[in-house]
Structure 1
């Protein structure tokens, strides 16, 4: 689509998600302009009328600490009068084809409903974990050494991205994403956010009613982890609770003095492998995983193909094979890639056939996928 289509896109968004405020409207337009220029905003038209739209966000995503490009599907909207006519399926097929053509090997989305995305190869893989903590409990966390923290703004986007690369590589993270530099610069303009940067970490948080909302807090060292959480907890004289997006095994959960009951909500996201060979090559793996496996992937958009997977030294490769091994739908392979155990995949019908490779596949693709960001 082109800038001339944006008024029609906003009309669709209003009918699907409700109206945007004037300030959010302006921010949204600034955010989507680069995707228009890159051919990452697609529309389905009935004559000259826009019937559906979907956007491909340009992300970096980490898998076992290794970054790769990822197509984040967002803003999937279908006009009320066009629902039930197959328009949603048609626009999503175009999204998958476009993402593949742009060179993305993997894709993710937060679903409003599961069936349409599952029918096109997406499968549930991970979650955004939001935990509610007493603000006072964070105030007791203290760094054991000095940590220099400063406020950050739009000009710090590149440094922030560099921090994310170091943190997720060191933690061997699976699932978290980073926006591109232009988008980070835009988000860092938000006057309602509190933005702090350290040499090896950062935090983005804000007031939400009478509580604090932590959008993102990452750190590579114990002292910076403690310093940033203590900074958030310094609002405990006013804020009662802190609602934070965290990893399922985030260190803050072990730094709390008292931990007996936690309120955790999950926003589930779905994942799809678009290009088997590229996705396997770009992913990171446990260094001790030295094994191989034969898999056959059945993809409704790409057909049925068999692959020999080989893993060694933290890297992997997929080469075409003649023999059929483990049989997976592309949904099943996508879930396997995200660390869902082979036993689970077999029990729910996403995997069948030869069982001799199950242990090797579980070892190679082991992961606890999560995201800190919604999109």
Structure 2
């Protein structure tokens, strides 16, 4: 690799935007008219973008969206990395790596303790500390097998009221690690741009208990979101989908991997596959652990953690984690030589997967991503809640 010379990383300015737009066209294989280029350059906020400049020329750029996600039912500030692009003459020279490291430092500075992204290649971002966060299950089945699943007391009606959808989504999102907090602007953009229908399921008292967001593409119904709050709502929404059997030939339904659909069908032999999706990484392990909600069980405990992070030096080292009976943790950096007990060792990607519910501690040790004794693993298993991870906004 040929080292880059005279490198500066800084926030983009308005005058950098035309070049950034052209880079996006080149790297992501689309073409805009000159008028569209001008509009995009004017509408994109440069303060959310970082660029790496070599000898004064923009070589690589990315965007960090300021968002929040649910982790153990609580909101955490998150930096969503997107639009990572590099001109070909600077690839293979470490430009994007330098930019990603600078982005991590920037996220830490503004209090974004976790980061999400959709990878173009998992291996590339894994070496920078991001790890698989979300998988989803994609079903494909004839609608007729869903007929008759709905209960008589529940009714499902189409709606365009984003407030009702948001209330249901928020309650559902708190059940998973990694789900995005949606605001009014996000909802309106989502509903205006997906050409989809929305239907809400109501119980016998008229209370909304779930929704489905879907669209027809030819003779196929694509289910973007199936969001039930109770078991009866799930059945009612599936029955609503099945009621379209005279209009469509197939249903494609996206769901979390823990979805129980196969247990609800009389004949569960339908086509389905698991697909990896978003990645996540803890930006600042000390701050993250202070915000994290551990399992409360009437007992307290302490653990010595050894963290390695090749892209964020502030995460390297030993940390003393103390958890009280209410599940509240305190975390402080400690001197390696000051402690006489062995530490639990893992890299930042493994800690991310463990704390966000993607992998249990025992499985991480089994696959060689965690070094810990039997006792240490049992303590981790006791304190880390078994809440699954999912990200629903990647379509």
Shared fold (TM-score greater than 0.5)? yes
Residue segments in structure 2 that go unaligned for 5+ positions in a row: 1-11, 202-207
The RMSD of aligned alpha carbons is 3.1
C-alpha displacement of 1:190: 2.5
Structure 1 length-normalised TM: 0.84
Q: Which residue of 1 aligns with 2:107?
A: 99
Query: Structure 1 residues 177, 350: CA separation in 2 closer, same or farther (over 3 Å shift)?
Result: same
Structure 1 contact 31–183 (Cα < 8 Å) conserved: no
Structure 1 contact 107–271 (Cα < 8 Å) conserved: yes
Structure 1 contact 326–355 (Cα < 8 Å) conserved: no
Query: Structure 1 residues 60, 163: CA separation in 2 closer, same or farther (over 3 Å shift)?
Result: farther
Structure 1 contact 52–91 (Cα < 8 Å) conserved: yes
Q: 1:252, 1:362 → 2: CA distance?
A: 28
1:294 aligns with 2:339: no
1:173 is aligned, of 163, 172, 176, to 176
Structure 2 contact 140–271 (Cα < 8 Å) conserved: yes
Q: 2:42, 2:365 → 1: CA distance?
A: 41
Q: Which residue of 2 aligns with 1:41?
A: 49
Counterparts of 1:1-375 in structure 2, within 5 Å, are 1-2=12-13, 4-19=15-30, 29=40, 33=44, 36=45, 39-47=47-55, 49-147=57-155, 149-152=157-160, 156=162, 158-169=163-174, 172-190=175-193, 192-197=195-200, 199-288=208-297, 290-292=299-301, 293-300=303-310, 301=312, 302=314, 303-310=316-323, 312-322=325-335, 323=339, 325-339=343-357, 340-352=359-371, 354-365=373-384, 366-374=386-394
Q: 1:30, 1:224 → 2: CA distance?
A: 45
Structure 2 counterpart SS, 1:90: helix
C-alpha displacement of 1:147: 3.4
Query: Structure 1 residues 350, 267: CA separation in 2 closer, same or farther (over 3 Å shift)?
Result: closer
Q: 1:241, 1:183 → 2: CA distance?
A: 29
Max radius of gyration: which structure? 2
Residue segments in structure 1 that go unaligned for 5+ positions in a row: none
Structure 2 contact 140–270 (Cα < 8 Å) conserved: no
Structure 1 contact 142–230 (Cα < 8 Å) conserved: yes
Structure 1 contact 129–372 (Cα < 8 Å) conserved: no
Q: 2:40, 2:293 → 1: CA distance?
A: 35
